[in-house]
Chain A
């Protein structure tokens, strides 16, 4: 929101005159660098998603694209650990790394194969705001034959780089739905992480 207000202000600079514009800028609260970076990250992400949607590739190629996009823009290790919950603490580092890899492939297949529903659609970035220790970047998805709907990306720089750590589609929290899914898969395997990894490699 703040960022779009700033853009609005800049667009109006010439119309309002330079001094008036300066006054408007001074009145606008200083935008933190990270909020701007969060928006930039999601703009890049959305640009790559839009390019993948528009490429007209096969489903398999789309899944590959989405898996790469997820790895490039998402904090995959953190999302994977959070989806597993406290169990993650008891994993050895090699178990954790094969679980994380299986999780990334599962997410790539699960959402990548849905990409054909998005053909002819696009996502637009509306703006970013700080929310607690995170940044929320608001976007609108326009899909063919559907009313536009809200998709919010949650961005964090805790990994050392700006990465998205969650996504909310019309209020539905994707990390929360994956927690339910991973918990159910782990229960099905009676808490055995090797079984969970096997299931994940086939799921999605």
Chain B
């Protein structure tokens, strides 16, 4: 994709930004999103859930953790680029030290001695970079296979693919190992949070609305956005929700 196409996509996606940050749920594409959600649930039922159960049962925990570490470590250069773009040089330095230590003493990132040494992963992505640059959250979208997102985070995801320095360096078969490890990491995450995900997708009365709410609240928390729609939280200063809770 050429640079113009990326910029045009970005401009389109972020142009959808209508609601101010943290103000409830902005979901103009709900009909379409619900269709995608149904598709994603099918993918989970038929593929991700059974695969994750086999992977989690057959492969011992230390091996799965090693694969997760390996995949995380290869993601760090892209994270460091975003730390830098956000002006967060402290995290960029910490993550750089982490990458160097884990790539060498951590045997290509399979082990994680850096966390013990005081440099735990400080994760970020280009969606957060856009937030730091003042781009609004935009509309909620549920992406096929990838799941809950917003127009801003979708733009960020696309940019991250092109921004990754390792992607330019790695060739086959190393790039295939990386892709495989990433896939295994997703399966392991689905396995580790199995009951939580099952509860949201298969036991709630409206799994679409539940995953939308949980994604938006957690993402805003990650980005440090105070959510005025979050009742009984610090933003509830006018007492209206209090009255809702204790109406007389």
B160 located at the interface, meaning its Cβ lies under 8 Å from any Cβ of chain A in the complex = no
Greatest chain A CB density within 10 A among B204, B218, B232, B245 is at: B232
Q: Distance (Å) between the CB of A129 and the closest chain B CB? A: 9
Distance between Cα atoms of A199 and B206 in the complex (Å): 14
Q: Which of B220-245 contact A (CB under 8 A)?
A: 220-222, 227, 229-237, 239, 242, 244-245
Among candidates B65, B206, B218, residue contacting A170 with C-beta atoms closer than 8 Å: B218
> Number of contacting residues on A, CB 8 A?
39
In Å, the complex CA distance between A88 and B244 comes to 10
Q: How far is the CA of A85 from the CA of B231 in the complex (A)?
A: 12
Once the chains bind, are A158 and B246 in contact (CB under 8 Å)? Answer: yes
Which residue among A133, A187, A188 has the maximum number of chain B CB atoms within 10 Å of its CB?
A133
For A166, list chain B residues within 8 Å (CB). 231-233
**Cα-based distance from A81 to B192 in the complex (angstroms):** 33
Which of the four size classes fits the interface of chain B? 35 or more
A residues at B contact (CB < 8 Å)? 78, 81-82, 85, 88-89, 110, 114, 117, 131-134, 136, 145-147, 154, 156, 158, 165-166, 168, 170-173, 175-177, 180-181, 183-185, 187-188, 199, 203
Expressed in whole angstroms, the minimum distance between the Cβ of A54 and any Cβ of chain B is 20
> What residues of chain B lie closer than 8 Å to A171, measured between beta carbons?
217-218, 220-222, 227, 230
Q: Assess whether B119 is interfacial by the CB under 8 Å rule.
A: no
- The residue of chain B having its C-beta at the shortest distance from the C-beta of A129 within the complex is B234
Closest to B215 in A: A172
B192 touches A133 (CB 8 A): no
Q: Tell me whether A180 and B239 are in contact (CB under 8 A).
A: no
What's the minimum C-beta distance from A128 to chain B, rounded to whole angstroms? 13
Q: How far is the CA of A107 from the CA of B227 in the complex (A)?
A: 24
Q: For B233, list chain A residues within 8 Å (CB).
A: 131, 136, 154, 166, 168, 173
